[in-house]
Structure 1
Amino acid sequence: MPRTSPVPFLLRPLTLLTLLVLALAGALLTASAAGAAEIRGEENVVVAEDEVVDDDLYVTGGSVVVDGTVRGDLLVAGGTITINGTVEGDLMAAAQTVVIEGTVGDDARVASQVLRLGEQARVTDDLITAGYSLETRPGTEIGGDVLLGAYQALLAGTIDGDVTAGAAALALAGSIGGDVQADVGSADEIGAAWAPTTGVAVPRVDPGLTLTDTARLDGNLYYRSGTEAAITPGAEIAGQVTHEQVVVEDEPAGPAGPLALLIAGLRLFVTLFLVGLLALWLLPRAVTGAAGTLRSRPWLSLGWGALTIAGTAVAVLAVLVVSILLAIALGWLTLAGLAAAVVTTAVVLDLVLVLGLVLTVALLAPVVVACTAGGLLLRDRAPARFGKRVLALALGLLIYVLLRAVPFLGPVVALLVALLGVGALVVWAWDAARRSRARRRADRERDWDRGHDAGSWAAGSQPRGSGPAGPGHTGSGQAGSGQTGPGHTLSGPPQQTRPPWAGEGSGRQRPPEPPR
């Protein structure tokens, strides 16, 4: 276990990256609301050297090169971004590689794998960046503060303000006019990291904090790390140096080998068993119905399980894409507030879909399959008693946990159980919905028939299927005869439909009318 905690310098890049992406998305959504912006979107976008863009410029493309002048802000998203010219406003960029060789007249906010500022680069105000690597070459000038979160950073240029950094590896090799506050890793806990493949050379920075002979610091140096910084004798620090030792006590080594496997299996069994008990108590029809569906139609359940998982993934992506397109359209209509609501709703819906799928795959699917397998072992495919259902669940989960512990076979079993369980739940839910609709339709038809018959008798007419009846006529009434009025007798063959007040026996007379 590492002696120092990597949480500070790992959380900072994620937080910065999230903020930068949200800021870029918000600016794109409200671009049209500002009323003064030029939008370009191609595979390769080039602002020529003699070209001047008088307004803000919003660009998306695989490769973006700015050799000319942008008098407003530049918001750009692409694969590779190169700024050789001048951006008089702010720069907001999200890309794999960003190279700044020109001038940024205000703040620069960049989210990228690699950010490099060349010898001629000028950033008049602050630089805020998150990514894998940041490099400022000798000659780079930054007029404000630097806020960075990255795996590594090499600051060799001139920074007039303060530096706030969170990195596993940080090297100071230039001039810094303010204070430096950094959370850094240490050599004993940070190994060799994967270096992204980009079009520019990425420097190698040693883990921890390093100050080279060319480092000049006019303010104070405060850093948190598990080890001392490597400060060369030629480095100049005008203020105080404060080192906060970050120590995490070594945790005792956990069990290994068969014992660890046993503990992991027991933890999985207890978790699924508790979930199964809760499901059998709260959702007995769903669990038993899905188990019955899996027994009778296993291949159908397997197919629908695969389709459901794949369809959910596609639905999540579709909701996100549609919401972004709709938000952009609303932004063009200067409805930025509604656009933000659309994006928020889509994010919440995606979270609900993903969370529902994860819970179903990880918890409910094994419970359904375990109930099915346990019922087959007990030779009772549909246990009626709760105690026998619990026993079937325990037997099925025991087999599932044992199979999961087998090397190479465990992942295959987990995948099959997820597909079968999810598919059985989907098929059962579909069948239950169809049966519910059929019952409601039948109830409506029966209620209509009863109301129609009752209305016919109330109006003095005969039930459906009867012949004419009246004074001197014999109609199709009940078995036998009954008095319907003075001197009139209703008789004939049995009716198809009996009036609501008729009983089961024959010869029942219609109740006399109350006295008027």
Structure 2
Amino acid sequence: MESLPVPRTSPVPFLLRPLTLLALLTLLVLALAGALLTAPAAGAVEVRDGENVVVAADEVVDDDLYVTGGSVVVDGTVRGDLLVAGGTVTINGTVEGDLMAAAQTVVIEGTVGDDARVAGQALLLGAQARVADDLVAAGYSLETRPGTEIGGDVLLGAYQGLLAGTIDGDVTAGAAALTLAGAIGGDVQADVGSADDVGAAWAPTSGVAVPRVDPGLTLTDAARLDGNLSYRSGTEAAIAPGAEIAGEVVYEQVVVEEEPAGPAGPLALLIAGLRLFVTLLLAGLLALWLLPRAVTGAASTLRARPWLSLGWGALTIAGTAVAVLAVLVVSILLAIALGWLTLAGLAAAVVTTAVVFDLVLMLGLVLAVALLAPVVVAYTAGGLLVRDSAPAGFGKRVLALALGLLIYVLLRAVPFLGPVVGLLVALFGVGAVVVWAGDAARRSRARRRADGNRDHGPDRGGDAGSWPAGPQQPGSWQTDPGAAGSRPAGPGPTDPGHGTQGTPRPRPPWSGDGSARQLPPEPPR
């Protein structure tokens, strides 16, 4: 067994950042969706959903099976592929085709006749698990217990992995913590963390026990490798004396360049506060220049209805999060239905549109919470400080904004109080913008309705100046109802004999003295 260290400088160790793990999980979910959309259309598909979906031990599903549910248990046999999404997925029976599963917990205790692609927080292959071909896994933790048999390769992207049992093919892994405790028939290529730069990761509780795996690469006495071991890490692997490696061991050391130490203590706090102040001030100036009515209108709403703004802010933020999840779930279900109807191209368009829409929603929420809400609240507070709640000049508006932002930055720097202030500012600011936008939309609709009524008149058929016909009073006159100069019947300030301010007007020669109305002369033929 030969060790060949290859020093190398790398700015960021691979897979040591939570965002990288999230990206891998997202990629696997998209891969599952892609496999779903491109599923063969020749055979039939059975679709099931519900809170608890069970395929009984004596049940045989002759087609592909698509399942969504809170808890999915397969004790029977699925002749085709199984595509499942839920909270907990347990495979105790047999899946003769591919298994594609995404859930918080995925447990395989049965047999998969082809590939298994799983994504979730806790992934477990028990002692009776059999995967005839490849295993692709992404999530927080993957554990294959002694007795597990995998006939192909293993591709892993997770925070930690514990591989026991038997793997006939190669292992390619990226993890912060990886332990090999079984027989591997091919090569092992791994990018792992080290005890120095990997801390404990938090994850919500799951339905199965998650093992504790030490950071870095570990080979136990039960490890048997028929091929080569090649790995990248900040520290060398912990290889037990009883581990057997038939090929070479290639170690590529990852050297993280230390960043120069920045200022600490009060100076660092001052610099952070100054950065926040400048960022928000520039965003506020841009908003006052491009969206002055929105900023001033939202500030007026916040002063007049603060509690309504608070409620709408909480509802908007929570509703946006729910909407993002709902759009994703609905798009996946719609894609499943379209794939079942052999409309894979349309299904892909639906998924792409949903992803873009979710990204727009999340980006809008982030900008509103991080920039717009502090600007609105700071402008409102600054207006109270300068004793001008609605500054008319641009200079006064900038002064009110700067004073409010200064107070906001100072409060955010206070320990324990800062996060509370940030949360309240986000709720009040977002809510004020939403309430103002709703009021503005209602006023706009009311103006359009009023303009429409003026355009069509009371009878919705005449000109703007026409009046409805009615009984004529003595002394009144009326032209054609469609004429622009028609007037209402009866005496008054608008009587044809008087101006609007009482100024006498000449009467038509056919109007008479008021005792008997005469008709106008008939035009010559």
| TM-score band, normalised by shorter chain | 0.7 to 0.9
Equivalent position of 1:226 in the other structure:
234
Instruction: Specify the code of the residue in structure 1 equivalent to 2:438.
Output: W
Equivalent position of 1:246 in the other structure:
254
Q: State whether structure 2 residue 431 is matched by structure 1 residue 423.
A: yes
1:298: Cα distance to partner? 3.4
- Report which stretch shifted further, 430-439 or 261-270: 430-439
Equivalent position of 1:150 in the other structure:
158
Return the alpha-carbon distance in structure 2 between the equivalents of residues 63 and 483 of structure 1.
Answer: 89
Is the CA contact 1:173–1:213 (under 8 Å) kept in the aligned structure 2?
Answer: yes
Return the alpha-carbon distance in structure 2 between the equivalents of residues 341 and 206 of structure 1.
Answer: 43
The alpha-carbon distance between structure 1 residues 281 and 176, as it changes in their structure 2 partners (threshold 3 A), is same
Q: State whether structure 2 residue 212 is matched by structure 1 residue 204.
A: yes
Instruction: Specify the code of the residue in structure 2 equivalent to 1:254.
Output: G
Is the CA contact 2:187–2:229 (under 8 Å) kept in the aligned structure 1?
Answer: yes
Return the alpha-carbon distance in structure 1 between the equivalents of residues 280 and 32 of structure 2.
Answer: 43
Report the secondary structure of 2:120's partner residue. strand
2:487 to 464, 482, 494: 464
1:229: Cα distance to partner? 1.5
1:105: Cα distance to partner? 1.7
Is the CA contact 2:496–2:505 (under 8 Å) kept in the aligned structure 1?
Answer: no
Q: Alpha-carbon deviations, 1:182-221, whole Å to 9, x = none?
A: 0011122223445765555544332211233443323222
RMSD: 3.7
Q: State whether structure 2 residue 370 is matched by structure 1 residue 353.
A: no
1:492: Cα distance to partner? 7.9
1:108: Cα distance to partner? 1.2
Return the alpha-carbon distance in structure 1 between the equivalents of residues 217 and 244 of structure 2.
Answer: 15
Return the alpha-carbon distance in structure 2 between the equivalents of residues 297 and 492 of structure 1.
Answer: 62
Equivalent position of 1:503 in the other structure:
none
The alpha-carbon distance between structure 1 residues 328 and 446, as it changes in their structure 2 partners (threshold 3 A), is same
Instruction: Specify the code of the residue in structure 1 equivalent to 2:487.
Output: R
Return the alpha-carbon distance in structure 2 between the equivalents of residues 418 and 220 of structure 1.
Answer: 54
Aligned length: 485
Is the CA contact 1:28–1:58 (under 8 Å) kept in the aligned structure 2?
Answer: no
Return the alpha-carbon distance in structure 1 between the equivalents of residues 313 and 12 of structure 2.
Answer: 42
Return the alpha-carbon distance in structure 2 between the equivalents of residues 296 and 62 of structure 1.
Answer: 45
1:432 to 418, 436, 440: 440
Consecutive unaligned residues in structure 1, runs of 5 or more:
469-473, 494-516
The alpha-carbon distance between structure 1 residues 475 and 180, as it changes in their structure 2 partners (threshold 3 A), is closer
Return the alpha-carbon distance in structure 1 between the equivalents of residues 293 and 16 of structure 2.
Answer: 50
The alpha-carbon distance between structure 1 residues 269 and 105, as it changes in their structure 2 partners (threshold 3 A), is same
Report the secondary structure of 2:15's partner residue. helix
Q: Alpha-carbon deviations, 1:213-254, whole Å to 9, x = none?
A: 443323222111001122334433333322111111222333
Equivalent position of 1:281 in the other structure:
289
1:128: Cα distance to partner? 0.8
* Counterparts of residues 21-32 of structure 1 (less than 5 Å): 21-25=29-33
Equivalent position of 2:15 in the other structure:
8
* Counterparts of residues 252-263 of structure 1 (less than 5 Å): 252-263=260-271
The alpha-carbon distance between structure 1 residues 460 and 51, as it changes in their structure 2 partners (threshold 3 A), is closer
Is the CA contact 1:125–1:143 (under 8 Å) kept in the aligned structure 2?
Answer: yes
Return the alpha-carbon distance in structure 2 between the equivalents of residues 48 and 305 of structure 1.
Answer: 47
The alpha-carbon distance between structure 1 residues 305 and 94, as it changes in their structure 2 partners (threshold 3 A), is closer
Q: Alpha-carbon deviations, 1:299-342, whole Å to 9, x = none?
A: 44344434433444444444445445544554555544434433
Instruction: Specify the code of the residue in structure 1 equivalent to 2:394.
Output: F
Instruction: Specify the code of the residue in structure 2 equivalent to 1:189.
Output: D
The alpha-carbon distance between structure 1 residues 163 and 436, as it changes in their structure 2 partners (threshold 3 A), is same
1:101: Cα distance to partner? 3.6
Consecutive unaligned residues in structure 2, runs of 5 or more:
1-9, 468-478, 515-525
1:147: Cα distance to partner? 0.5
Equivalent position of 1:376 in the other structure:
384
* Counterparts of residues 273-352 of structure 1 (less than 5 Å): 273-331=281-339, 333-352=341-360
Equivalent position of 1:414 in the other structure:
422
Instruction: Specify the code of the residue in structure 1 equivalent to 2:15.
Output: P
Q: State whether structure 2 residue 45 is matched by structure 1 residue 37.
A: yes
Instruction: Specify the code of the residue in structure 1 equivalent to 2:214.
Output: D
Instruction: Specify the code of the residue in structure 1 equivalent to 2:354.
Output: A
Equivalent position of 2:144 in the other structure:
136
1:183 to 177, 191, 196: 191
Return the alpha-carbon distance in structure 2 between the equivalents of residues 199 and 480 of structure 1.
Answer: 94
Report the secondary structure of 2:196's partner residue. coil
For normalisation by structure 1, the TM-score amounts to 0.80
Return the alpha-carbon distance in structure 1 between the equivalents of residues 139 and 496 of structure 2.
Answer: 93
Instruction: Specify the code of the residue in structure 2 equivalent to 1:53.
Output: V
Return the alpha-carbon distance in structure 2 between the equivalents of residues 132 and 79 of structure 1.
Answer: 15
Q: State whether structure 2 residue 178 is matched by structure 1 residue 170.
A: yes
1:125 to 104, 108, 133: 133
1:435: Cα distance to partner? 3.6
Report the secondary structure of 1:8's partner residue. coil
Return the alpha-carbon distance in structure 2 between the equivalents of residues 402 and 297 of structure 1.
Answer: 25
The alpha-carbon distance between structure 1 residues 153 and 437, as it changes in their structure 2 partners (threshold 3 A), is closer
Is the CA contact 2:76–2:93 (under 8 Å) kept in the aligned structure 1?
Answer: yes
Return the alpha-carbon distance in structure 1 between the equivalents of residues 345 and 94 of structure 2.
Answer: 32
Instruction: Specify the code of the residue in structure 2 equivalent to 1:349.
Output: F
The alpha-carbon distance between structure 1 residues 357 and 260, as it changes in their structure 2 partners (threshold 3 A), is same
Equivalent position of 2:372 in the other structure:
364
Is the CA contact 1:475–1:491 (under 8 Å) kept in the aligned structure 2?
Answer: no
- Report which stretch shifted further, 87-96 or 74-83: 74-83
Is the CA contact 1:276–1:367 (under 8 Å) kept in the aligned structure 2?
Answer: yes
Instruction: Specify the code of the residue in structure 2 equivalent to 1:267.
Output: R
Return the alpha-carbon distance in structure 2 between the equivalents of residues 150 and 166 of structure 1.
Answer: 7
The alpha-carbon distance between structure 1 residues 490 and 60, as it changes in their structure 2 partners (threshold 3 A), is closer
Return the alpha-carbon distance in structure 2 between the equivalents of residues 290 and 98 of structure 1.
Answer: 48
Report the secondary structure of 2:271's partner residue. helix
Q: State whether structure 2 residue 428 is matched by structure 1 residue 405.
A: no
Is the CA contact 2:51–2:71 (under 8 Å) kept in the aligned structure 1?
Answer: yes
The alpha-carbon distance between structure 1 residues 38 and 255, as it changes in their structure 2 partners (threshold 3 A), is same
Instruction: Specify the code of the residue in structure 2 equivalent to 1:393.
Output: L
Instruction: Specify the code of the residue in structure 1 equivalent to 2:145.
Output: R
- Report which stretch shifted further, 340-349 or 395-404: 340-349
Return the alpha-carbon distance in structure 1 between the equivalents of residues 398 and 304 of structure 2.
Answer: 21
1:115 to 118, 123, 130: 123
Is the CA contact 2:61–2:78 (under 8 Å) kept in the aligned structure 1?
Answer: yes
Return the alpha-carbon distance in structure 1 between the equivalents of residues 89 and 448 of structure 2.
Answer: 62
Of all paired residues, the percent bearing the same amino acid is: 82
Instruction: Specify the code of the residue in structure 2 equivalent to 1:465.
Output: P
Instruction: Specify the code of the residue in structure 2 equivalent to 1:464.
Output: R
Return the alpha-carbon distance in structure 2 between the equivalents of residues 174 and 61 of structure 1.
Answer: 34
